[in-house]
Structure 1
Amino acid sequence: MTSSSTAQHDSRPDNPSDGGGVWSRPTDEVLRELDTSEEGLSSDAAAARAQEAGPNELPTPPAPNPVMRFLSHFDDILIYILLTAAVLKAIMGEWVDAGVVFAVALVNAVIGFVQEGQALDSLDAIRSMMTARARVRRDGEWSDVDAVELVPGDVVALGPGDRVPADLRLLTSSQLRIEESALTGESVPSSKGAAPAEPDAGVGDRTSMAFSGTIVSGGQATGVVTGTGAHTEIGRIRGMVSEAGDDALDTPLTRQLARFGRILSLAILGMAGFMLVIGRLVHEFPPAELISAAIGFAVAAVPEGLPAIITISLALGVQQLARRRAITRRLPSVETLGAVSTICSDKTGTLTLNEMSVREVVTAGSSYEVTGMGYTPEGAVLAGGEPADLDSHPDLFALVETMAVCNDATLSRNGNGNGHDDRSAPQADGTGASPDEGDPTDAGGSPDGERTWQLVGEPTEGALTVLGMKAGFDTAGYERLAVVPFDSEHKFMAVLVRTPTDRAEAHEGGTEVLLKGAPDRVLERCSHQMGADGRPEPLDRARWEAAIDDLGAQGLRVLAAAHLSRPAGGSEDLDQESVADGMVLLGLAGIVDPPRPEAIEAIATCHRAGIAVSMITGDHAGTARAIAREMGIIDSEDAPVLTGAEIESMPQSRLEKKAPDVHVYARTSPEHKIRIVRALQARGQVVAMTGDGVNDAPALTRADVGVAMGIKGTEATKDAADIVLADDNFSTIELAVEEGRRIYDNIVKAVVFLLPSNGAQALVLLVAVLAGWALPLDPVQVLWINMVTAITLSVTLAYEGPEPGLMDRPPRPGRAPLLGARSLRQIAFVSVLIGAATLATFLVTRDGTGDIRVSQTVAVNTLAFAQLAYLFNCRFLHTTSLRREVVGTNRVVWISVVSLLALQVLFVHAPFMHVLFHSAPVNWLGWVLPAAVAVAVFVLVELWKWAGRARAGR
């Protein structure tokens, strides 16, 4: 560190000298190095530092040039092919068709430009986390100033509900708890104090620091500003988002289409050149006729309808995902979901309900199971599988009484209760407040009204309130006389109550002290325990310590309860000393944020589909492992778990080797998450990353698909993401992956359908030129076929539903080609099949009628009908199309069939079409022959597909 008055102290443990940062240094040393004191700065000193340090705000990066951003969306090989087709059509004088193709390219660019503009708001969203005002001490007096005016060395005061205005090293603290989930991912607020933390402490363990943008959930403190603007922890993460964005990855589909487009372009140019050479040297065609044929060949070979089909498929996927509660912010990410091979998921609220629930109660006499999940009081307390009656189980009654009465939380239906909204309500076990990032009063709510109970207060206390309701306990009649509130030092809460009349006799008409809190703190205050008969007996400490360990090993948060009766006429005072010893231990409650049942099923589906699921959480390793095993992410207690500290000390090359086999990560920081994502990508994985806090934004930006939580996610996270989940539910991710696979299948179907259509047309022209025949198709007729099939047939494949067994297939390799060997063989086979059939009908009709226009019209009919038949083959690529679903699951198909037939009737019989497209009326044979060819094409392609499946053993 420097001794400069404006020194900005880095929060990373490897930067400062002495092996640690300001969090590990005594306060007097920090004040001395910042050239300040607990009295704060003078106004003059603050002004001078402001000139040197700059404003306390995150800098705005220079905005990209809008024109260059727009033009960049034309820099794609597929768009080059599209524009080439438009230029060729313009050369041929087909200005209307050229304009349509240009319009398609323009629409694609506009859509991409708008979506990119939305993504650029992500850094501004992080900047908005800076608070507007701060209470600062200057010239020895406290005053409110704009937070942007803070400088290093300022002394700032914090109170409940405040948003921390800069990175602070705490100087004084009283029961301070800060909600840091946006930075650390931990599900509960952190207890803070002025005592130095360990030098190698991670962000979540720097208990002497308050970080900019986090929220004070309880207590008061003062602190000295050590970092402002870009030098805060949030500023550092913002820089990571920017860096991750600069290294953004192409999607698997864009990589495949780029490779496919390059190969196709070279093939078209090569074949057109070959055709020109043969036509000129061998058959001595006139140059004008050869150029016309070459243009017709190129127009026939270029699948200009493909970009439109891809855009339509993705757009329809966006709509379908929205119906499944997944909002898509970037169009290509819809398809990328289908290639996902690893999902890295946050735990709280995504895999779990984000609602604490008591799962097990342990007393000296028995162990009780608690059914039901969340804050809805549906369920029961069971003893031996049967509901436990409180009158028959005095040990259970005493524990439930303490947990429900020594409690500040309330529940109400639909949020209409009269409970208070106290963000700083004390937490019984010392672990802090709500695991969500919003107002605690929202816990238990639901955006769609599915859950009708709402918690007001702390989540852990809410779980205890629900326990009392499930057990049938009534808190009415208890009069609170005194309270020892929870604080982070003693980690318990105690109340002195006068019990209802019917309970007064049990306490000799006196009062009762009820205490609950962290089990070690409660245990040390007890000399006895309550037996199964409700009477005190000597404390068996070893037995309780074993029970605490057992509950903890299950991933449960453990609370203990104790009480002490006071006789009538006794003192009505209560303090920490009065509960220091002599208490009677009542038992333990094991609390958990329960897994979402649908998430467990979704994880099983992902595993069946060959998709690995990894849980990345801020929780401790033991809790993370227990939850992961319960959810089916891992299947063994010996499964490896990597902590943030281990990742910190691990070279990236070693992490790349370990990452594919590790599915639980604990105590992680933003840097760790990015390293995990990079390690998986280095091993060829396509990674989806979920998150809700600012700490997740860099990893979401780096991942192939970033998935943000819509309910409890920060705006910065949502803006950094590709997909936003409206219900914060992991099962929605699995549904989105299924939708992505369907979309990719439909894009492949479109390619497999389009290329034989284009290939057959190109083959007809190529063979005719090489053989020296008159052209079976005029260039304008090629345009007609491409236009009507693009308008009618091609689009229908975008509406296809999922094929059977879609989620039983492994993910496709991220760097695999768009078309596999089997698809390429099918394209070649069908191209030759349809091309040969078209040439055959052309030659037969030409020989029979001697009219070139009639024979060309029959050839066009043959191409149209054969492509119509082949469309039904392409509706099911992985299975046979000889099934009932081929006629009843996509009504758009039949709209397309009718439309195509109507257009072909117009092409054949409308006089003005004869002028425009050189067509001619045909007799019944000109319709029956193409129809017979179409039936033959469908049957032969199905036989080809069957033979391919037989060779593959399917």
Structure 2
Amino acid sequence: MTRRLERFTRLLGIVSLGLVGAVIALQVGMGTSLRETFFVAIALAVSVIPEGLPVAVTVALSIATRRMARRNVIVRHLPAVEGLGACTVVATDKTGTLTMNQLTVKRLWLPDHGFVEVEGSGLEIDGPLHRSGEKLSDATHDAVRSLAHSAALCNDADFDPQGGADGYSGDTVDLAFLVLAWKAGLDAGTLRKTAHRLAERPFSAERKYAASLHQHADGRLIHVKGAAEIVVPLCDLADPDRVLDLADEMASRGYRVLAVAAKRVEDRTGASAPETLDREICGMTLLGLAGFIDPLRPEARQAVADCHRAGVDVRMITGDHAATALAIARDLGIAERPDEVVTGREIAAGGADLVERIASARVFARVEPAHKVEIVQALQRAGHFVAMTGDGVNDAPALHRADLGVAMGRDGTDAARDAADLVLADDNFASVVVGIEEGRAAYANIRKVIYLAISTGAAEAVMFLLALAMGLPLPLTAIQLLWLNLVTNGGQHVALAAEGSEKGLLDRPPRSPQEPLFDAIMIRQTLLSGAVIGLVSTAAFAWMIAHGWSEFDARNTLLFLMVAFENVHVFNCRSESRSAFRIPLSANWALIVAVVGAQALHIGAAFTPGFSDLLGLEPLPLSEWLLLVPLALSVLLVMEGDKLLRSWGRRSSVPRAG
């Protein structure tokens, strides 16, 4: 929008200078004094150039900012208000944005024992463990405790079931494992006291596993948890491929799958150094696979559907396994086929067709933060206006590179928020849809203000050019032109900027990034309304002069007519397509107050001694009001007819079924 406004103002300046130059040439050719020509030229320039437009645009953006804040979208940079309304694709994180970020271990696979189901969700510790509804055998229960024991020690979270909202902290995977430990009858706090941690390797996107070395009463053990495709090959197994197939099968059902393993190591000097852990992580004993479920936000499916309805593509980015990501994407309506998934490994490998693969993909799995910049750039090269969501420090480059960066407010980092244009206070993807709707509403209101400002300025230019070409006196004096713009433009422009959202904003496709601000529809409406007001006002002025009215009386009546024209025309500007009669007045009381106030101010000026002399005004009799009102309504009737014709044209262009 900022770029479009800059291009538009440059074009407007050139056109305005041309019009003013034409008026000056006509006046000089008619022998008008240079002093009068100068003042009229300046007044006309003020009329044609909408100097109040920046204020009205700022008001429109500020109002939209407040509306968005009420709906959990915080705007950090004012021009970004309408940015979401312009985006053609949203690349969004899965965890916490599309899901509840409440990981729960729901299924376990244990060597020699098979699958175990885990009941409960979130931080509930009362969920029972069972196999197909049957109670676990002692051996199976011991196997579950072994897995939970290792996962609770290779863990940096804190969890107190009695502590309420302040009783837990840490990564959601770690918290889920601590909840599993409680369900298995273990107390993580007691475990940590009896097993001293000697060294650790925190989880990283590059390694895809975490490991810790602990001193137990009977020796030292390494505990590992991480991605199944990384951990399982490091374990002593007769058939690792079978285990990986089980992990893939769980992932295809929407589970996020992690493997847990352990290994006893010798008690020797230097074995506690962190770098030795990487050398020791081999030949481990696989304790099992843990399948996590992160429930989708209840409103996520509808939010994705709303984006698609608005013509905005949704691309999901996650660190999950490709099968898990695809299963969740299917549930959300984002993707259906495996070929719509691109992995971080494929992005890192590159290739001649990488940009095309990324542009056509709907899901990005096993993605590292560094890959997000490549995703953004590929989508931009494909012609998209990209909105990117993120929450971590490593997401900051991608948020900055995207056309619109959207950070998480609740779980996001300061670095991510500083790099973003918008912040979601509730970390909810549904708020992105709110931002799209409010952004489109803000842009529509800006167009309405521009339409009003340019069309009324064009009408005044038409009136002057026609009057001078017909050899008529100047329709209005310089001070009357300035008064006309002062009394009508300021309040009405600002009030129009507060117009509410029109229905069906999400049923329209996003505008093209190359679409000009002053497009074909606005040009048509501006020329038509400007011509109607200019022709009718000039004809009225010519009629008054031809019937012997003095210049004072003719200008006085014409000024009343022009104020009435602009009061009526503002209602045409409330929508580019909907009839003014179908938009309730109660939808924008500020506009009604502005119109009534402008008319009252002008009438009051005619009754104010001294001021009326300065402006060349006097009150109008009722008989003249009865003539002016129908004339002023002519622009409303013509523009209503134009909207009706365009509506018929759109209907006829839609192919009929069958």
Residue 800 (structure 1) shift: 1.5
- 1:533 paired residue number: none
C-alpha deviations, 1:549-592, integer Å up to 9, x for none?
31133352346899xxxxxxxxxxxxx9xxx99x9x9x864213
Is the 1:429–1:559 contact (alpha carbons within 8 Å) kept by the matching residues of 2?
no
Distance in 1 (alpha carbons) for counterparts of 2:394 and 2:372: 9
In structure 1, give the amino acid aligned to 2:136.
Answer: D
Distance, in Å, in 2 between the alignment partners of 1:917 and 1:377 is 81
The answer to whether 1:331 aligns with 2:78 is yes
Whether 2:63 is the aligned partner of 1:316: answer yes
> How far has the Cα of 1:764 moved from its partner?
1.0
> Aligned equivalents of 2:173 and 2:470: distance in 1?
84
Shift of 1:496: 11
Alpha-carbon offset, residue 667 of structure 1: 4.7
Distance 1:918 1:441, change over 3 A: farther
Q: What does 1:294-305 align with in structure 2 at a 5 Å threshold?
A: 294-305=41-52
Inter-partner Cα distance in structure 1 for 2:515 and 2:557: 40
Please list, as runs of the form range in 1=range in 2, the aligned pairs for 1:83-94 lying within 5 A after superposition: none
The SS at the match of 2:98 is: coil
SS in 1 for 2:151: coil
The one-letter code of the counterpart of 1:805 is G
Whole-Å Cα distance in 2 between the matches of residues 843 and 397 of structure 1?
104
Structure 1 match to 2:342 = 641
For residue 755 of structure 1, the aligned residue among 449, 454, 464 is 454
* 1:277 to partner: Cα distance: 2.5
Partner SS for 1:685 = coil
Structure 1 residues 636, 288: closer, same or farther in 2, change over 3 A?
same
Q: Is 1:706–2:411 an aligned residue pair? A: no
Q: 1:791 aligns with which of 490, 504, 515?
A: 490
Distance 1:372 1:804 in 2: 42
Write the mapping of 1:112-131 to structure 2, written as runs, cut at 5 A. Answer: none
CA–CA distance in 2 between the matches of 1:906 and 1:371?
76
Confirm or deny: 8 A CA contact 1:367 1:383 kept in the other structure: yes
1:616–1:666 contact (8 Å) kept in structure 2: yes
Q: 1:691 aligns with which of 387, 390, 394?
A: 390
Return the offset for 1:878.
3.0
Give the alignment partner of residue 23 of structure 2, picking from 250, 275, 283.
275
Change in 2 beyond 3 A, CA 1:658/1:847: same
Query: How many Å apart are 1:889 and its aligned residue?
Result: 1.5
TM-score normalised per structure 1: 0.57
Amino acid at match of 2:616: H
Pair 380,827 (structure 1): closer, same or farther in 2 beyond 3 Å = farther
In 2 relative to 1, CA 640–590 (structure 1 residues): closer, same or farther, beyond 3 Å?
closer
Q: Which runs of 5+ in 2 are unaligned?
A: 202-208, 218-222, 262-279, 653-658
Given that 1:344 and 1:613 are in contact with CA atoms closer than 8 Å, whether structure 2 keeps it comes out as yes
Does structure 2 retain, via aligned residues, the 8 Å contact 1:660–1:680? yes
Instruction: Tell me the secondary structure at the aligned position of residue 406 of structure 2.
Output: strand
Equivalent-residue separation in structure 1 for 2:81 and 2:130 (angstroms) = 46
Change (3 A) 1:261 1:394: same
- Letter of the 1:427 partner, please give it: A
Aligned to 1:395: 136
Q: 1:278 to 1:843 in 2, by over 3 A?
A: closer
2:78 maps to amino acid: L
1:67-466 to 2 correspondence within 5 Å?
253-281=1-29, 283-360=30-107, 374-375=122-123, 393-395=134-136, 427-428=151-152, 454-456=167-169, 459-460=172-173, 462-463=175-176
Residue 302 of structure 1: how far off its partner (Å)? 0.7
Q: How far is 1:610 from its partner?
A: 1.2
1:613-652 equivalent positions in 2, closer than 5 A = 613-643=314-344, 646-647=347-348, 649-650=350-351
What do the CA deviations read for 1:417-449 (whole angstroms, capped 9, x no partner)?
Answer: xxxxxxxxx63596x656xxxxx679999xxxx
Distance of aligned partners of 1:730 and 1:443 in 2 relative to their CA distance in 1, 3 Å threshold: farther
1:918 maps to which of 616, 620, 623: 616
Structure 2: how far apart are the matches of 1:559 and 1:891? 58
Matched residue SS, 2:335: coil
In 2, the alpha carbon distance for the partners of 1:481 and 1:257 equals 62
1:597 equivalent among 298, 323, 332: 298
Taking the aligned partners of 2:13 and 2:178, their CA distance within structure 1 comes to 69
- Identify the match of residue 604 of structure 2 among 906, 930, 939: 906
Give the superposition deviation at 1:643.
2.2
Task: Tell me what 1:159 maps to.
Answer: none
Taking every aligned residue pair, what percent have the same amino acid on both sides?
35
Please say if residues 697 and 716 of structure 1, whose CA atoms lie closer than 8 Å, have aligned partners that are also in contact: yes
The question of whether the paired residues in 2 share the 8 Å contact of 1:485 and 1:492 is answered with: no
Offset, 1:406: 7.0
Which is worse superposed, 895-904 or 459-468? 459-468
Render the CA deviation track for 1:89-135: whole Å, top value 9, x for unaligned. Answer: xxxxxxxxxxxxxxxxxxxxxxxxxxxxxxxxxxxxxxxxxxxxxxx
CA contact (8 A) 2:225 2:260 kept: yes
Offset of 1:731 from its aligned partner?
A: 1.9
Q: Distance in 1 between matches of 2:601 and 2:243?
A: 83
CA distance in 2, matches of 1:844, 1:271: 25
Give the Å deviation of 1:833.
Answer: 1.0
Q: Aligned equivalents of 1:433 and 1:551: distance in 2?
A: 26
Q: Aligned letter for 2:26? A: I
CA distance in 2, matches of 1:628, 1:405: 33
Query: SS at the partner of 1:869?
Result: helix
Q: Is the 8 A contact 2:196 2:216 kept in 1?
A: no
Change (3 A) 1:853 1:377: farther
Q: Give per-residue Cα distances to partners, 1:509-533, cap 9 Å, x unaligned.
A: xxxxxx9977877998999xxxxxx
- Partner residue in 2 for 1:935: 633
Tell me by how many angstroms 1:742 deviates.
Answer: 0.7
> Is the CA contact 1:442–1:455 (under 8 Å) kept in the aligned structure 2?
yes
Change (3 A) 1:545 1:328: closer
Distance 1:365 1:671 in 2: 40
Is residue 720 from structure 1 mapped to residue 437 from structure 2 by the alignment?
no
Q: What amino acid is aligned across from residue 636 of structure 1 in structure 2?
A: R
Aligned to 1:875: 574
Q: 2:173, 2:609 → 1: CA distance?
A: 80
TM-superposed deviation, 1:366 = 9.3
Structure with the larger RCO, 1 or 2 (CA within 8 Å, 6+ apart) = 2
The worse-fitting range, judged by mean Cα deviation, of 661-670 and 296-305 is 661-670
- Tell me the C-alpha RMSD between the 2 structures: 4.3
Alignment: residue pair count: 615
Q: Which residue of 1 aligns with 2:380?
A: 681
Question: Structure 1 unaligned runs (5+)?
Answer: 1-252, 409-425, 435-439, 446-450, 498-514, 528-539, 563-575
CA distance in 1, matches of 2:211, 2:369: 29
Deviations 1:182-226 (A, max 9, x none): xxxxxxxxxxxxxxxxxxxxxxxxxxxxxxxxxxxxxxxxxxxxx
The aligned counterpart of 2:648 is 950
Instruction: Give the secondary structure class of the aligned counterpart of 1:882.
Output: helix
TM-aligned CA distance change 1:542 to 1:334, over 3 Å: closer
The answer to whether the 8 Å contact 1:709/1:718 transfers is yes
Aligned partner of 2:474 among 775, 787, 795: 775
Secondary structure of residue in 1 paired with 2:95 = coil
Asked if 1 retains the 8 angstrom alpha-carbon contact of 2:388 and 2:405, the reply is yes
1:850-895 alpha-carbon deviations (Å, 9 max, x no partner): 2323322222222222222222222122322322x42221221222
- Measure how far apart 1:355 and its partner are: 2.2
